[in-house]
Structure 1
Amino acid sequence: MTDLNSFKQKIETYALKASSQQNERDYQNAVRTIDLLTSVREPFGRDPNFSHITASAWVMNESRSALILTHHKKLDTWLQVGGHCDGDPCPERVALKEANEETGLKSIRQMSTEPVDIDIHLVPANAKEPAHYHYDVRYILLADENEPLGMSDESNDLRWVRFSELDLFTNRPSVLIAREKRGL
């Protein structure tokens, strides 16, 4: 099975689970992601003229009481780590790669290759690109919170944030939803 077919199958499973749990947001985002996979020539590309799939990691400590947030330089906001797939049709691999690059942690490991969230958000137009949508597929990764963090040049700051303090860092629903999705 190709990475694309495997990914599509995981999104279909995600949609079925969302439907059975009567979670309309998750179901609609999964359906829209499947539509993107079949309607865009390069859904994992980076062409800003088209919507595309991105991958993010909610890097959590072993007890899932905290996650890593980065204060993104370009966007000037606190977010989970992640990035563009750049043609790689395996978002879980991209999420792991981005987490390693953006945190410097060696202890990161995948909890599952199944996505735990899909967030579809508009990227506003800027001087270099038109407005377009990111279909951000999120995964939970686990890491040792005692290991020192190594911040990348994409960040102003990088830190472990307790879920109980998440509201102090962001009011973005797309980040706050990690509390619900952490699987406790």
Structure 2
Amino acid sequence: MEYTLTEQIRSYQPMNEQEERDKELILHCLETEKNIFTRQNRLAHMTASAWIVNPERTKVLMAYHNIYHSWSWLGGHADGETDLLKVALKEAREESGIHHVKPVSEQIYSLEVLTVDGHVKRGEYVSSHLHLNVTYLLQAEETDVLHIKEDENSNVGWFSLEDAVAASTEPWFQEHIYRKLNEKLVNIK
């Protein structure tokens, strides 16, 4: 029996207060907002992110994001797709060039509500909004050839777990997201 994303989020066990509160907000938006899986909803969009590790789980794959001027995880908008694992896998391939990426688990790895400041994308202003984000733990080989996606990033590379946190220039992500994702690796088999 396949569970809907809402059911998966409802059954997700938060690791900390941030995930607990964000889970509540994501569920509220899924139940009350229209077009939440598309960018037509100008307040919030469903997104999927990938924390991509090597098989030994000693390194993480990150991209240098052109909009945020920071090394970050990979991911993107649902754009109408309700299978967010599928979105995370697609974005991982598109943003890094890796072909041999697979889920460590099909279960949700983490939940976040992320603020996105207003910015210009493809010559058009995008107002500040929220990303209602579901993160999946993916695995890839370090030997896979990497490619940038010029309209989104300018570099892609493997980092040790600690260096991945340090490479980010976004303090909130360092403290509340990337460290948390690394801490959770301890409990993954």
TM-score normalised by structure 2 residue count = 0.86
Where does the alignment leave 5 or more consecutive residues of structure 2 unmatched?
none
Q: Percent identity?
A: 26
User: How far is 1:129 from its partner?
Assistant: 2.4
Q: What is the CA–CA distance in structure 1 between the aligned matches of 2:111 and 2:165, rounded to whole Å?
A: 21
Query: Deviation per CA, 1:103-126, whole angstroms, max 9, x where unpaired?
Result: 111210111221111111211123
* 8 A Cα contact 1:69 1:159, kept in partner: yes
Secondary structure of the corresponding residue to residue 105 of structure 2: coil
Q: What is the CA–CA distance in structure 2 between the aligned matches of 1:156 and 1:76, rounded to whole Å?
A: 9
Secondary structure of the corresponding residue to residue 119 of structure 2: coil
TM-score normalised by structure 1 residue count = 0.88
What does 1:20-99 align with in structure 2 at a 5 Å threshold?
Answer: 23-47=16-40, 49-99=42-92
Q: What is the CA–CA distance in structure 2 between the aligned matches of 1:151 and 1:130, rounded to whole Å?
A: 26
Moved over 3 A (4+): none
Q: How many residues align?
A: 177
User: How far is 1:48 from its partner?
Assistant: 5.7
Where does the alignment leave 5 or more consecutive residues of structure 1 unmatched?
none
Q: What is the CA–CA distance in structure 1 between the aligned matches of 2:41 and 2:4, rounded to whole Å?
A: 25
Decide which of 126, 131, 134 is 1:129's aligned counterpart.
126
Q: What is the CA–CA distance in structure 2 between the aligned matches of 1:129 and 1:47, rounded to whole Å?
A: 12
RMSD of aligned alpha carbons = 1.8
User: Is the alpha carbon distance of 1:50 and 1:164 closer, same or farther for their aligned partners in structure 2, counting shifts above 3 Å?
Assistant: closer
User: How far is 1:98 from its partner?
Assistant: 0.4
Q: Does 1:181 align with 2:184?
A: yes
* 8 A Cα contact 1:66 1:162, kept in partner: yes
Which structure shows the higher strand fraction?
2
